[in-house]
Structure 1
Amino acid sequence: MTEGRPHTLGATFDGEGVNFAVFSEHARRMTLCLFSPDGKQETHRIDLPERDGDVWHGYVAGLRPGQLYGLRADGPYAPHMGHRFNYHKLLIDPYAKRLTGHPQWHDALMGYTIGSPDADLSFDTRDSAPYMPRCVVEDPSFNWGRDTAPNTPIAQSVIYEAHVKGLTALRQGVPHRGTFLGLASDQMLDHMTRLGITALELLPVQAFLNDRFLVEKGLVNYWGYQTLGFFAPDPRYMAHAQLSEFQHMVARLHSAGIEVILDVVYNHTCEGSELGPTLAFRGLDNRSYYRLAQDPRYYINDTGTGNTVNIEHPMVLRMVLDSLRYWVQVMHVDGFRFDLCSTLGRTPTGFDRGAAFFDAIRQDPVLTKVKLIAEPWDIGPGGYQVGGFPPPFLEWNDKYRDGVRRFWRGDVGQVPTLADRLTGSALQFDHSGRPATSSVNFVTAHDGFTLMDVVSYDTKHNEANGEENRDGHGENVSDNMGVEGPTEDPKIAAARAQRRRNMLATLLLSQGTPMILAGDEIGNSQRGNNNAYCQDNPTGWIDWDEADEDLMRFVRRLVAFRKDHPILRQKRFLHSRERAVDGIEDLFWRHPDGTPMSNEDWGDSSLRVLCAEMRMASGTPPYAQREEALFLVFNAGDPVVVTLPPTAGGRQWTLCIDTNTPDALPHPVTRAPLKVPARSVLAFVLEPSRD
Structure 2
Amino acid sequence: MSLGAKVAAGETRFTVRSPHAAAVDVCLFDGTAETRLPMTRDGNDWTLAVPGDLSGTHYGYRASGDWAPERGRWFDPAKLLVDPYAIELDRRFAYDPRLSEYGADTADLVPRAVVQGALPVVPPAPPRFARGGLIYELNVRAFTMLHPDIPAAQRGTVAALAHPSVIAHLQKLHVSAVELMPITAWIDERHLPPLGLTNAWGYNPVAPMALDPRLCPGGVAELRETVAALHAAGIGVLLDLVLNHTGESDVHGPVLSLRGLDNAAYAHEPNGALINDTGCGNTLNFGHPAVRALALETLRHFVRHCGVDGFRFDLAPVLARGPGFDPAAPFFAELAADPRLADRVLIAEPWDIGPGGYQLGQFPANWLEWNDRFRDDVRRFWRGDVGVGLLATRLAGSADLFGPDCRSVNFLAAHDGFTLADCVAYEHRHNHANGEDNRDGHGENFSWNHGCEGPSHDPRVNAARAEDLRAMLGTLFASTGTVMLTAGDEFGRTQHGNNNAYCQDNAAFWLDWAGRDTALEDHVAALSAARAARRAEFAQFPQGGEWLAPSGAAMTVADWEDPASDGFDYHVGGARHFRIRRAERSAAI
TM-score range (shorter-chain normalised) is: over 0.9
Q: 1:213: how far off?
A: 1.3
Whole-angstrom distance in 1 between the partners of 2:572 and 2:17 = 55
Cα 1:347–1:327 change in 2 (3 A) is same
1:658 match: none
Whole-angstrom distance in 2 between the partners of 1:140 and 1:156 = 37
Whole-angstrom distance in 2 between the partners of 1:185 and 1:682 = 32
Q: Which has the larger radius of gyration?
A: 1
2:238 match: 261
Q: 1:148: how far off?
A: 7.9
1:606 aligns with 2:567: no
1:527 aligns with 2:496: yes
Whole-angstrom distance in 2 between the partners of 1:446 and 1:220 = 16
1:191 partner amino acid = H
With the length of structure 2 as denominator, give the TM-score of the two structures.
0.96
1:420 aligns with 2:393: yes
Q: Any residues of structure 2 matched to 1:264-413 within 5 Å, and which?
A: 264-286=241-263, 288-296=264-272, 298-348=273-323, 350-411=324-385, 413=386
With the length of structure 1 as denominator, give the TM-score of the two structures.
0.82
Whole-angstrom distance in 2 between the partners of 1:264 and 1:238 = 15
Whole-angstrom distance in 2 between the partners of 1:313 and 1:142 = 31
Q: Among 451, 456, 481, which residue is 1:487 paired with?
A: 456
Cα RMSD of the aligned pairs, angstroms, is 1.7
1:168 aligns with 2:136: no
Q: Among 428, 437, 454, which residue is 2:423 paired with?
A: 454
2:45 match: 55
Contact 2:11 2:50 in 1 (8 A): yes
Q: Report the secondary structure of 1:267's partner residue.
A: coil
Q: 1:57: how far off?
A: 1.4
Contact 1:509 1:568 in 2 (8 A): no
Contact 1:452 1:524 in 2 (8 A): yes
Segments of 5+ residues of structure 1 without an aligned counterpart are 1-6, 113-123, 576-585, 616-627, 638-677, 684-691
2:397 partner amino acid = G
Contact 2:59 2:114 in 1 (8 A): yes
Contact 1:150 1:258 in 2 (8 A): no
Contact 2:238 2:308 in 1 (8 A): yes
1:587 match: 545
Q: Report the secondary structure of 1:395's partner residue.
A: strand
Q: Any residues of structure 2 matched to 1:105-144 within 5 Å, and which?
A: 105-110=95-100, 112=101, 124-139=102-117, 141-142=119-120
What CA deviation, in whole Å up to 9, does each residue of 1:368-409 have, x standing for no partner? 111000000000011001111112110000000011111112
Whole-angstrom distance in 2 between the partners of 1:337 and 1:567 = 23
2:13 match: 19
Whole-angstrom distance in 1 between the partners of 2:118 and 2:389 = 52
Segments of 5+ residues of structure 2 without an aligned counterpart are none
Q: 1:501: how far off?
A: 1.0
1:100 aligns with 2:90: yes
Whole-angstrom distance in 2 between the partners of 1:188 and 1:567 = 27
1:681 match: 587
Q: Report the secondary structure of 2:502's partner residue.
A: coil
Cα 1:485–1:15 change in 2 (3 A) is farther
Q: Any residues of structure 2 matched to 1:58-73 within 5 Å, and which?
A: 58-73=48-63
Q: Report the secondary structure of 1:612's partner residue.
A: strand
Q: Any residues of structure 2 matched to 1:205-224 within 5 Å, and which?
A: 205-224=183-202
Contact 1:149 1:259 in 2 (8 A): no
Q: Report the secondary structure of 1:600's partner residue.
A: helix
Contact 1:157 1:514 in 2 (8 A): yes
Contact 1:220 1:536 in 2 (8 A): yes
What CA deviation, in whole Å up to 9, does each residue of 1:69-123 have, x standing for no partner? 000112222333222211221100000111111334333211x4xxxxxxxxxxx
Contact 1:162 1:201 in 2 (8 A): yes
**Fraction of identical pairs, as percent:** 45
With a CA cutoff of 8 Å and minimum separation of 6, indicate the structure with the bigger relative contact order.
2
Q: 1:153: how far off?
A: 4.7
